[in-house]
Amino acid sequence: MTHMIYVVPSLKAKEKLQCEGKAWAESQGFAYVPRGKRTIQDLMDEYGEDFLVYSSRGPQIDRPEGSHFFSLNMAELRIQNLRKGQRDHLLEALMGVKEYDLRPAAAQPPISVLDCTCGFGADAAVASFGLPAGSRVDALEVSPLLEAVTAWGFSHFVHKKDDVTAALRRISLRCGDYRDYLLSDDGPVYDVLYFDPMFQRPVEASCQFQPVRAIMEHGGLTRDLIERALQKARRRVVIKERDFRQLCRDFPDVALYGGKYSRIGYAVLECDSWKK
C-alpha cells in the first residue's frame, strides 16, 4: 500500500512560496497542508516520515539529523573536470572503454542507460552530461520521498550553465524498485544497467546521508539479481563498489574500472556470454 506524502511549507515561507509548494504538491498527487508553527518533531509525530518541507530550495527531507535538498553535490566537480578534458571512471565504465575520450572529435554512438539506484542523482547527472549526444538516461529510486526530491531537481533546478540544466532535464526518473524491473518480462530494454548499492555498507561519517538514512533502501544486490540484470541488459552491467572480492569470486570475467588510489570503483560485466 502506498503511503500518502504530505507537503508542508518551511516555517517562515511567504505566500508566494506557499502557493508554489501547493502547486507542486498537487502536480505530484501529494497532500499540501499548512505549516502553522509546528516544529519538525511535531510534523514527525503527526505524519511519521511521510512528509516533505517545501522551501526556497525546493522540497526537502527534514529530520532532527539535518535536511536533504537537491544539489549536484560531487557531480558539480566531476562536470567541471569533464570540461577540462579529464577522465570520469563512471563514463568509462558505462561505455565499456577505459580512457574513453570525451572530446567531440571522438564521436561515439549514443547508448541507453538505466540508473537502477538513483539516490541523490549525482551519477545520473554526470552520465546525462557526459555520454555521447543522443544518449538516454532513465532512473529508478525506490524511496518515494527521495524520488520526489531528486525528480524535482531534474525538472526544476536551474544551473548557471545551460548545458548542465539541459542534462538534468533529459533524465527521466520514476519511483520504483529495480528488483521488480529485473524480475519482470516487460519494460524497456537498455544498453547498460547501472547499480550503486553502497547503502549496504554506509559510510557512517558521511553527513549528507544522515537525514535520509532511515528511509534509504538497504537491500542487497545478490548474485541472482546480477545474473538477471545480465540477461536483461543489451550490452553490460555496471556496479559501483568499494570491495570487489565477492564479485570477483562470483564473476571471474569482471573488468574493474577506477583510479589506482580511489576507494570507489566500478565493476563491468559484459552481457554477451550470458545471453541464451
Tens of pLDDT, residues 238-269? 999 878 888 999 999 999 998 776 778 999 99
71: its cell numbers:
544539489
Domain coverage including residue 87: 74-274
Rounded average pLDDT over 122-143: 95
Whether the per-residue pLDDT at 117 is higher than 70: the answer is: yes
- Asked if residue 174 and residue 230 are part of one domain, the reply reads yes
Residue 65 lies in a domain: no
Among the listed residues 174, 110, 104, 167, the one whose alpha carbon sits nearest the alpha carbon of residue 139: 174
- Asked if residue 199 and residue 110 are part of one domain, the reply reads yes
Q: How confident is the model at residue 108 (pLDDT cuts 50, 70, 90)?
A: confident
Rounded average pLDDT over 86-113: 81
Please enumerate in sequence order all residues whose Cβ is within 8 A of that of 244, keeping only pairs 6 or more positions apart, or say none.
Answer: 254, 256, 265, 267
The sign of the CA dihedral 201, 97, 88, 230 is: negative
- Asked if residue 113 and residue 24 are part of one domain, the reply reads no
Whether the per-residue pLDDT at 59 is higher than 80: the answer is: yes
- Asked if residue 101 and residue 24 are part of one domain, the reply reads no
Whether the per-residue pLDDT at 197 is higher than 90: the answer is: no
Say how many C-beta atoms besides its own lie within 10 A of residue 16's C-beta.
8
- Asked if residue 36 and residue 101 are part of one domain, the reply reads no
- Asked if residue 181 and residue 228 are part of one domain, the reply reads yes
Residue 69 lies in a domain: no
Question: pLDDT: is 89 or 203 the higher one?
Answer: 89
17: its cell numbers:
512560496
**What per-residue confidence (pLDDT) applies to 105?**
43
Residue 84 lies in a domain: yes
Rounded average pLDDT over 129-155: 95
Q: Sheet containing 51-55: which strands, arranged edge to edge?
A: 31-32, 6-9, 51-55, 58-63, 66-69
Please state the separation of Cα 59 from the chain's center in Å. 16
Residue 68 lies in a domain: no
Pairing mode of beta strands 255-257, 265-270? antiparallel
Whether the per-residue pLDDT at 235 is higher than 70: the answer is: yes
- Asked if residue 15 and residue 83 are part of one domain, the reply reads no
Residue 195 lies in a domain: yes
Q: How confident is the model at residue 217 (pLDDT cuts 50, 70, 90)?
A: low
- Asked if residue 104 and residue 17 are part of one domain, the reply reads no
The CATH number of whichever domain residue 188 belongs to comes to 3.40.50.150
Among the listed residues 234, 230, 194, 226, the one whose alpha carbon sits nearest the alpha carbon of residue 109: 234
Residue 1 lies in a domain: no
Residue 67 lies in a domain: no
- Asked if residue 155 and residue 44 are part of one domain, the reply reads no
Q: What is the pTM of this model?
A: 0.91
Q: Where are the alpha helices (DSSP H) in the chain?
A: 15-28, 40-47, 74-83, 89-95, 122-130, 144-156, 162-169, 178-183, 223-232, 245-250
Highest mean pLDDT among 4-8, 186-190, 243-247: 4-8
Residue 61 lies in a domain: no
- Asked if residue 39 and residue 80 are part of one domain, the reply reads no
Question: How many domains in the chain?
Answer: 2
136: its cell numbers:
538516454
- Asked if residue 112 and residue 207 are part of one domain, the reply reads yes
- Asked if residue 44 and residue 172 are part of one domain, the reply reads no
